[in-house]
Amino acid sequence: MLGERFAEPQNAPFFDRMFRTLDALVEHLGPTPGPTPPAGARLRRWLAAPGAAPPGATDDSVAAGVCVHLLQLCDLQPQLTALDEVAAVLGHSIGLQAAIVAGLRPKRTDDFLALAETSLRLVALSLVRAHQVTAGPPGPADTWGPPHATDPPHATDPARAERGEPGVRPAPMAVVSGLSRDDLAALVECYRRESRRPVSVSLVNTPTTGVLSGRTDDLLHFRAHHEPVFRDGAVRWTFLANTVPFHSPHLAPAAEQVRRERDFVGALPPAAALRIPVYAADAPRTLPPGADLVDEFLDQVLVRPVDWATASLHAVADAGITTVLDCGPGPGARRFTRECLGAGARALRFTSIRR
């Protein structure tokens, strides 16, 4: 889909500016271990020729996240998105930053491109720093927790842990469906106390669908440790494709590192400049006028858990809201919202970024 946008002639100024932004980021990072954003020239080649990207080029969360945000920004260009009838904006996870850009609603092309450049630097740099923090060596035992001598033999056996999900490789995030949010939270809390492994509930997408974040080996251990819970298929476990444990305390050091690099990122307008209310996803609230929009992104996307069930209910309960711009990413947020609200909810129109 990003390749389709790149092929549209009217988007050439946007992509030229974003490619230069990626080049500046690569230069800022210097020699960096682990995944980094593709340089502008490389991404241009990938988009210009279908199949030019090597296998696995966007398998990591850095490259994938950059491409997702580029698509969001491209579709938010003033000439493509009519926001006059939108009463509020909502975004799931990385969709928050697209929601912030939409809420600021710059109408001039040059103003939009300047905002998009800052937004891309913030997102891409955050993804790199998040990957660096979690790819490093394990911390002290009381932080990461090595396997205990008393663990059952199957607890660190990936084959046992992955049973029932062929083709899905272990990762630092996993969906657990079929447990209530309270039951999942209790299971995680008990596990943390007993194992000293910092697995956390990172997203509550629906009343019976949650996402766990942690080190991959800790999630494998959690899955194997609770094998009886998943045995009959009523409760399901699926690893996500992420290579970073978003929405977890593990990424607090990454957020602090990006704050130290704010001179490179640049400044976002103050939250008081939002022309359309933006709903947070971590609590039933809109972003307040005094909020720092860079901090909101870093805290909500890297560190704080998403409570989509509560946030979506709050949006629908707000009688002044009739039309919400759904900034995604993808159709998941809308599907989660329908499941959270049920059949008796007040009618609310959701419109997508690109119509």
Name the DSSP class of 298: I
Q: Is the pLDDT of residue 67 over 60?
A: yes
- Please tell me the predicted confidence (pLDDT) of residue 258: 97
Instruction: Say how far apart CA 326 and CA 323 lie, in whole Å.
Output: 9
Q: Is the pLDDT of residue 146 over 60?
A: no
Instruction: Say how far apart CA 93 and CA 129 lie, in whole Å.
Output: 17
Name the DSSP class of 148: P
Query: Please, how many CA atoms are within 13 Å of residue 297, restricted to the half-sphere of its CB?
Result: 28
| Token pair listed for 330 | 């993808």
What mean pLDDT is predicted for residues 323-328?
Answer: 72
- Please tell me the predicted confidence (pLDDT) of residue 90: 78
Question: Whose structure tokens read 């509550």?
Answer: 204
Contact 322, 84 (CB under 8 A): no
What mean pLDDT is predicted for residues 77-82?
Answer: 75
The answer, yes or no, to whether the previous bond of 329 is cis (omega within 30 of 0) is yes
Name the DSSP class of 34: S
Contact 275, 104 (CB under 8 A): yes
pLDDT class of 127 with cuts at 50, 70, 90:
very high
Instruction: Say how far apart CA 216 and CA 16 lie, in whole Å.
Output: 37
- Please tell me the predicted confidence (pLDDT) of residue 145: 36
What mean pLDDT is predicted for residues 135-154?
Answer: 40
Q: Is the pLDDT of residue 246 over 60?
A: yes
pTM metric for this prediction:
0.86
Beta-strand pair 209-213/306-307: unpaired
- Please tell me the predicted confidence (pLDDT) of residue 225: 92
pLDDT class of 155 with cuts at 50, 70, 90:
very low
Q: Is the pLDDT of residue 143 over 60?
A: no
pLDDT class of 156 with cuts at 50, 70, 90:
very low
Window from 49-58, 131-140, 287-296 with minimum mean pLDDT: 131-140
Q: What is the pLDDT of residues 176-227, one digit of tens each?
A: 999 999 999 999 999 999 999 999 999 998 888 999 999 999 999 999 999 9
**H-state helical runs in the chain:** 2-7, 12-29, 40-48, 61-75, 95-104, 109-135, 158-161, 181-195, 216-225, 227-230, 252-260, 262-265, 293-297, 308-317, 332-341
pLDDT class of 141 with cuts at 50, 70, 90:
very low
Q: What percent of the chain has pLDDT over 70?
A: 79
Instruction: Say how far apart CA 96 and CA 102 lie, in whole Å.
Output: 10
Contact 125, 25 (CB under 8 A): yes
Beta carbons within 8 Å of 311's beta carbon, 6+ residues apart: 90, 279, 280, 281, 282, 283, 284
- Please tell me the predicted confidence (pLDDT) of residue 221: 95
pLDDT class of 142 with cuts at 50, 70, 90:
very low
Instruction: Say how far apart CA 158 and CA 141 lie, in whole Å.
Output: 21
Candidate ranges 21-25, 43-47, 155-159, 342-346; pick with highest mean pLDDT? 21-25
What mean pLDDT is predicted for residues 96-119?
Answer: 93
